[in-house]
Amino acid sequence: MIAAIAVKEAGRRRHRGGALRVVERNTLAYRRMWLAFVTGLFEPLLYLLSIGIGVGGLVGKIPGPGGEPIPYDQFVAPGLMAAAAMNGAVLDTTFNFFFKYKYAHTYDAMLATPLEVGDVARGEVIWALIRGGIYSGAFLVTMVVLGLVGSWWAVLAIPAALLIAFAFAGAGIAATTFMRSWTDFDFVNLALIPMFLFAATFFPISQYPDALQIIVRCTPLYQGVAIERSLTTGQLQWTMLLNALYLAVMGAVGLRIATARLRVLLQP
Amino acid sequence: MSTPPALRVVEKEWVAWRRLWKASVFQATVAPLLFLAAMGLGLGDLVNKGSGGVDGMPYLVFVAPGLMAATTMMQAAGESLWPVLGGVKWMRTYHAAVATPVGAGELFAGHVLWTCLRVLLSATVFLIVAAILGGVPSLWGILAIPAAVLGASVFAAALNGYAVTQESDVPFAVIMRIGLFPLFLFSGTFFPTSRLPDWLQPVSWFSPLWHTVELCRAATTGTAPSAGSVVGHVTFLVACLALGCWWGVRRFTQALTS
C-alpha cells in the first residue's frame, strides 16, 4: 500500500516538471544544429541594416506612435523586432512541430514516458519563448548599439516580445493540429507574409485609407508592433494595454485548443 | 530525330507541375507582388516625401526592377535546393531518370531549364503588375524578363550542383540566411549600392544579383549608364552561368553514376 503510494507520488513528482523536460530535449537537439539556431537572428538584423538604415536615409523623419517625429530607422526597428518574435514562434510551432508530430514521431516517444500531452504543448510553447527571448534580446542590444533606442521603457521590449511569441506560439500549435499535409502550410505563409509587410511594420498605419486601417488594427502582429514601438521610442499609449490583452488571450486560447486537440490526436 | 533527353526532364517536371501548380502560386507570384506593394507604394511614399525618390525617380520605379530580380533569384534558389535533394535522396527520382537514356548531365540541364521556365512565368507576371502600378516607365522594360531569367539561371546552376551531393537539408536554411538573404537586401535592390559603406561597394560587384538588378533597372527605366556597362553585366552573368553549368554537370555525374 505504502509502496503503491510512493510509486504514484514519484510519478507525480517527475510529472510536475514535464514541460521542462521537453525544453531540455529541444536544447539538446539544437546543440547539433547551432548554426541553424544562430542564423535565425540574421534575418531581422539584415532587414534593419538594409531597410532601416539603407532606405531609412532616404526617408528621414516620420511621425512616431505619439505623433512626435522620429528617424525612420527608430521607427522600423521595433516593428522588425515584433515581426521577428512572430516569425520565430510560428516557425517553431508550425513547420518544426508538424515534422516532429507526423514524421519523426517525437511526441509519440515522449508520451511513452511519464510526460503528458499538456507537457508537450506547454514545453513547445516555453521553448518557442526561450528562443524568441534570445533573439529579441540580441536584437534589442543591436538597437542600443546603433543608437535606435530612445527610452528606458525599452527594457520592457523583451517581455513584450515574449508576449508576442506566446500569442503566436499558442496559435501556431493550435493551427498545426488541423494541418493535414505540407500543402496546408501555404496558409501559414499566406498569413505571415502579408502581416509582416502590412501590419505597420515598415510604414505607419496612416498611409492606409480608413477602411484598411481598421483591418490592419485587428491583426495580431499590429498589436505587437504597436507595443514595441511605443516602448522603444518612449511614446507610450494607453491602448498598449488593449494590445497586450489581445495577445495574452490569443496565446491562452491557442494553447487551450492545442492541448485539447493533441489529446485526441496523440492518444487515440 | 528524337526529343533531346534534357527536354524529357522538362516534360516530367511539367507533368508534375500541372497538377501541383496551385501550391506554388502564392510563393512564386503573390508574395513578390505583396513586397512590391508594401515597399514600392507604402514605404515608397515615405521615400518620395523624404528625399524625392532615388536618383530622381519615384521609389516604386527604383524598387520594382530590384524586387523583380531579387524575388526571382529566391525562387530559383528554392527550386534548386530542396527539390534536388528530394530527387537524389528522399524520393530518388533522379536515380530512376538516369536508369533511362537520360544522362546525369542532361538531368542537370533539364532541371535548370525547367527552373528558368518557372522564373520566366513569375517574372512576366511581376512585370505586368509592376507596369500597371506605374513602376515600369519604359517599353524597354520587356527586356527585364530575359535579364531576370539569366540572373536566376546563374543561381539555379550553382545551387543544383551544390545540393545534389548533400546529405541533409539542414545547411539549406543556413545558405538561404547567410548567403542569399544578404544578397537579396544589399545588391542594390532596395537602395543604391552607393549608399553602402565604401569598403562594401566593391563586394557588390561580385554579387550576380547586383548585375541582374542593374540590367533589369536599365531595362525598366529605359536608361543604361552606357552600352559598355550592359555588355559587362551580361558577360559577367554568362561567365558565372557557364562556370555553374560546368561544375553542376560534374557534381551530378559524381552523385548519380558510380
The secondary structure element, H or E, covering residue A61 is strand A61-63
CA B129 – CA A185 distance, rounded (Å): 26
| Separation in Å, CA of B198 to nearest CA in chain A | 13
Residue A11 lies in a domain: no
Q: What is the pLDDT of residue A14?
A: 52
pLDDT tens per residue, range B223-249: 877 888 999 999 999 999 999 999 999
CA B245 – CA B153 distance, rounded (Å): 10
The pTM of this model reads 0.88
Q: What is the pLDDT of residue A1?
A: 52
Contact check, Cβ <8 Å, B31/A193: yes
Give the position of cell 559587362. B232
Residue A110: partners with Cβ closer than 8 Å, 6 or more residues away: A22, A25, A119, A120
Residue A156 lies in a domain: yes
Mutation target among B59, B177, B180, B190 for the A interface, most CBs of A within 10 A: B177
3-state secondary structure chain B: CCCCHHHHHHHHHHHHHHHHHHHHHHHHHHHHHHHHHHHHHHHHHHHHHHHCCECCECHHHHHHHHHHHHHHHHHHHHHHCHHHHHHHHHCCHHHHHHCCCCCHHHHHHHHHHHHHHHHHHHHHHHHHHHHHHCCCCCHHHHHHHHHHHHHHHHHHHHHHHHHCCCCCCHHHHHHHHHHHHHHHHHCCCCCCHHHCCHHHHHHHCCCHHHHHHHHHHHHHHCCCCCHHHHHHHHHHHHHHHHHHHHHHHHHHHHHHCC
CB A125, CB A166: distance < 8 Å: yes
Q: What average pLDDT score do residues B2-20 get?
A: 88
Q: What average pLDDT score do residues B11-34 get?
A: 86
Q: What is the pLDDT of residue B55?
A: 87
Q: What is the pLDDT of residue B160?
A: 95
- Identify residues of B whose CB sits under 8 angstroms from chain A CBs: 23, 26-27, 31, 34-35, 37-39, 42-43, 45-47, 49-51, 54, 59, 170-171, 173-174, 177-178, 181-182, 185-186, 190-191, 195-196
A60: left (phi over 0), alpha (psi -120 to 50) or beta: left
Q: What is the pLDDT of residue A66?
A: 83
Residue A8 lies in a domain: no
Residue A12 lies in a domain: no
Neighboring chain A residues of B178 at a CB cutoff of 8 Å: 39, 42
CA A186 – CA A183 distance, rounded (Å): 6
Q: How many domains does chain A have?
A: 1
Contact check, Cβ <8 Å, B42/A49: no
Residue A9 lies in a domain: no
Task: Give me the residue from B38, B51, B177 closest to A58, CB to CB.
Answer: B51
CA B184 – CA A250 distance, rounded (Å): 33
Task: Give residue A212's domain range.
Answer: 18-266
What is the complex's ipTM, to 2 decimals? 0.87
Cell of A192: 505571415
Residue A6 lies in a domain: no
Query: Could you state, in chain order, the average pLDDT of each consecutive group of 10 residues for chain A (268 residues)?
Result: 55 67 87 78 90 92 89 95 91 86 87 87 89 89 92 93 95 91 82 93 91 94 96 91 96 94 83
With the C-alpha atoms ordered B184, B43, A145, A235, is the resulting torsion angle positive or negative? negative
pLDDT tens per residue, range B111-164: 999 999 999 999 999 999 999 999 999 999 999 999 999 999 999 999 999 999
Cell of B27: 510563393
Q: What is the pLDDT of residue A5?
A: 57
pLDDT tens per residue, range B44-99: 999 999 999 898 899 999 999 999 999 999 999 999 999 999 888 888 989 988 88
Cell of B139: 517599353
Task: Give me the residue from A47, A55, A202 closest to B191, CB to CB.
Answer: A55
Q: Classify A94 as helix, strand or coil.
A: coil
| Separation in Å, CA of A205 to nearest CA in chain B | 10
